[in-house]
Amino acid sequence: MQTTHLRGLLATEPALRFPADAVTSDASDPCAPSEHARWSRRIRSVVQRLARVDAEPLDVTEVTVSVREGLRCERLTLNSLTRGPFRGTLLTCEGAAPGPGILVLGGRNARLDQLTGDEAPDHPDRNVAEHLARAGFTTLTVEHGIGGGLDAERLAGRDEGALLAHAFALTGRSLLGALVGDALGALDVLRAHPSVDPERTGLFGHSLGAAVALHTALLAELPLPVCAASHLGSYPTLYERLLTGYEGAVLPGVLEYADLPDLFGALAPAPLQLQYGTADAYLDAAGARAAGEQVRQAYATAAAKDALDVLELPMGHGTHVDHAVDFFRRELSGPPPAPAAVPAQRIHFDVADRRTVLDRVDAALASGVLTQGPLVAGFEELSRGWTGTPGVAVASGSAALEIALRVIGVAGRTVLVPVNTFFATAAAAVRAGAGVRFVDLEPDGLGMDPDRLRDALDRHPDTAAVVPVHIGGIVSPALDGVLDHCRTRGIPVLEDAAHAFGSTLGGRPAGSFGRFGAFSFFPTKVAISGEGGLLTGARPEDLEDVRRWRDHGKSAAGSTLHDRPGSNWRLSELHAAVGTTDLERFAATLAARRRLAARYDDLLGGVSGLRAHPQPPGTEGNFYKYLVHLDGSVDRDALRRRLRERHGVSLAGEVYDRLLSDHPYFAGSGEDAEATEAGGEAYPRGRWFADHHIALPLYPSLTEAAQIRVVSALRSELS
């Protein structure tokens, strides 16, 4: 009965099977990711989640060196906190200059000393690491550690690797994930060796080792050439028809998403050689041939068919070493591959964070409470640790602004906003029934200019609210002057702190200075929930009003009566699942952003044609944007294009490159005429800032190497 059940499960089409009708690229947008690239990202994301790799560096704790027939042999003891000590052997030709390195991953029954030639091999091709080393490559081979750890009496004849695979499954992990973690750590050891050019490394794997090499390449940050021998076919064939599949060579649940050919195809455009034997008792030649064709299709769609070798060979369950040597000579002898592009923004949730989000979403779905439940309450409480003021979660930052203005009661009156801010700041006032007028910025903190605000208040005595904005995550010291003017005239202040979660002025957090503080948790912000916002306020009665406005204006919680024209401005439990997880790591996020900003400060010294915007005294920004001012002679649009096309560097979006007075909706408002002094220009400071600043890529997962690349690209283009 269970066999029939299993066959039915194996016959189900994987959800991410590579589409047969996939096209090479989007002709309407050549810069957009190809269909293959999008599919590959989804495959890699699934593999990352299922593998649950503990990314942990390896320490080399012991080295013994010997020389054997011209080969330098370093026997290493590698150590990790989770695994403990295990052996590895590094081989390199004596006296060779730094060159390519290959991580060698043997099969299930391969012994380390046979792979390296320290012992006579039991098959002519078993000592593949020695063959590759004598061909001029530095090789590092590590033992899998799936034999000899359990005593024979307790094993009672059972397979140790199978027992380990089952035991790992008890913890929600996999033996393959553990092996991939070891391989990723070993790759770092190999790249750090003085005989290795770290930009030219590859992976060789045979049988189980080929499975480890495949998954290691899928999770590696940079594309790696892979030679995979004797591991090709479909999972249903290997694990149900032939019964030759090994538990440690698959990720639990992977066939729900992808079959083995899909995983290999997702490596494109990285170079790949697949070897299989027509006399291999562990594989089905016809099945391997069909799988190879699927991989070819994926590579062709990725415009990388020349990067793939699928070799059907007259051999058993082995390796054709000469073909492997030729493959690595071809792929590792030339210049290193171009580094990956530096994107303007990258959102990163590691596997542990993603599992936390999924668990919370699952709990919400199981409970049936999908909005305004315990996760939203938890999100509000976690936020308070960074705002210093109680808050109410709402659907977006825009909703937060509009609700606050409706609570204040601005309809039929004027709301003053900075001329340099996102459209939503002013649009919220319009939707709340107010007229909008603009105020120029001050250049140090990029906040609302107190002197220009005073002038605007004199011109607009019907002002109902003032909305300063913390541009780029900077809470400007000029805010004190803004607050003084408003306090004197009894005008409420609504802080638009969409950029400034976690930022402070004089030790006080953004959102705690005015009557309200409005925050956004949109994906581009420093803290995110997908879609979401927060409205903070010190008055309990204000927050109760906010709760009623966000829930269609109900007169009380649970009531079916409505006493105001509210709307659906609620935050869902599903968004709060993302938001609570992100807020739990926000201290690390903020520290990383500030550390990266300090590194940019150092790197940009001496670069001509620009200057970094300094943080004003008394402020601690969150570096939502790392802002740089360009000399007036620099064509910003041309610079952005050259950085992207010549260097693979994308700048982040400006804040902002168009003043509110430039938007068609506000054209003809008369504000320009009011702000223009005799013979002067409207909003001169806002105009200069809008025209002359850029924002460098900055996000917690940005590496120092990427920062150096960004600054080098700027130096090259501006010199």
Which segments of 259-321 are extended strands (E)?
Answer: 272-277, 308-313
Nearest to 338, CA basis, from 543, 216, 190, 199: 199
pLDDT band at residue 679 using 50, 70 and 90 as cut-offs? very low
pLDDT band at residue 7 using 50, 70 and 90 as cut-offs? confident
Residue 425 has phi, psi (to 5 degrees) of -60, -50
pLDDT: which is higher, 236 or 673: 236
CA dihedral 117, 123, 128, 129 (to 10 degrees): -30
Tell me the per-residue pLDDT of 599-622, one tens digit each, with 9 for 90 and over: 999 999 989 999 999 999 999 999
Beta-bridge mates of residue 417: 438
Average of pLDDT values for 652-672? 86
Cβ atoms of 225 and 202 within 8 Å: the answer is: yes
- Give the residue ranges of DSSP H helices in 99-226: 112-115, 128-134, 152-155, 160-170, 175-192, 208-219
Q: Three-state secondary structure along 449-501? A: CHHHHHHHHHHCCCEEEECCECHHHCCCCCHHHHHHHHHHHCCCEEEECCCCC
pLDDT band at residue 365 using 50, 70 and 90 as cut-offs? very high
Mean pLDDT of all residues belonging to the chain: 93
pLDDT band at residue 362 using 50, 70 and 90 as cut-offs? very high
Domains in the chain with CATH codes: 31-332 (3.40.50.1820), 351-585 (3.40.640.10), 587-718 (3.90.1150.10)
Cβ atoms of 164 and 196 within 8 Å: the answer is: no
Q: Which residue has the tokens 């800032």?
A: 689
Whether the per-residue pLDDT at 6 is higher than 90: the answer is no
Average of pLDDT values for 383-412? 98
- How far is it, in rounded angstroms, from Cα 319 to Cα 228? 9
Whether the per-residue pLDDT at 329 is higher than 90: the answer is yes
Give kind and range of the element (H or E) at residue 393.
Answer: strand 391-394
Question: Within 10 A of 708 (CB to CB), how many other CB atoms are there?
Answer: 12
- How far is it, in rounded angstroms, from Cα 428 to Cα 437? 13
97 DSSP assignment: P
Average of pLDDT values for 389-393? 98
Whether the per-residue pLDDT at 159 is higher than 90: the answer is no
Which segments of 569-644 are extended strands (E)?
Answer: 610-612, 619-620, 626-630
Burial environment of residue 712 by CB neighbours within 10 A (0 to 12, 13 to 18, 19 or more): middle
pLDDT band at residue 30 using 50, 70 and 90 as cut-offs? very low
Average of pLDDT values for 186-202? 95
- How far is it, in rounded angstroms, from Cα 339 to Cα 321? 29
pLDDT band at residue 49 using 50, 70 and 90 as cut-offs? very high
CA 487 to centroid of chain Cα atoms: 43
Tell me the per-residue pLDDT of 683-718, one tens digit each, with 9 for 90 and over: 999 999 999 999 999 999 999 999 999 999 999 999
Residue 199 has phi, psi (to 5 degrees) of -90, 0
What's residue 673's pLDDT? 52
Lay out the sheet containing 226-229: strands in order across: 59-68, 71-80, 84-93, 138-142, 99-105, 196-206, 226-229, 272-277, 308-313
Q: Are strands 391-394 and 533-536 parallel, antiparallel or unpaired?
A: antiparallel
- Between CA 498 and CA 509, with CA 503 as vertex, the angle to 5 degrees is 95
CA distances from 132 to 10, 70, 137, 558, 651 (A): 38, 13, 6, 72, 42
Contacts of 370 (CB under 8 A, 6+ apart): 364, 572, 573, 574
Average of pLDDT values for 366-391? 97
Residue 382 has phi, psi (to 5 degrees) of -65, -35
What's residue 11's pLDDT? 87
What's residue 498's pLDDT? 98
Residue 391 has phi, psi (to 5 degrees) of -145, 160
pLDDT band at residue 672 using 50, 70 and 90 as cut-offs? low
* Coil/strand/helix, residue 112: helix
Report percent pLDDT > 90 for the chain. 83
Give kind and range of the element (H or E) at residue 87.
Answer: strand 84-93
Cβ atoms of 224 and 270 within 8 Å: the answer is: yes
Buried b (16+ CB within 10 A) or exposed e, 115-127: bbbbeebeeebbb
Question: Within 10 A of 631 (CB to CB), how many other CB atoms are there?
Answer: 11
Which segments of 521-578 are extended strands (E)?
Answer: 533-536
Residue type, 385: G
- Give the residue ranges of DSSP H helices in 340-396: 351-367, 374-387
Contacts of 367 (CB under 8 A, 6+ apart): 373
pLDDT band at residue 680 using 50, 70 and 90 as cut-offs? low
Say how many residues make up the chain: 719
Tell me the per-residue pLDDT of 459-495, one tens digit each, with 9 for 90 and over: 999 999 999 999 999 999 999 999 999 999 999 999 9
What's residue 631's pLDDT? 95
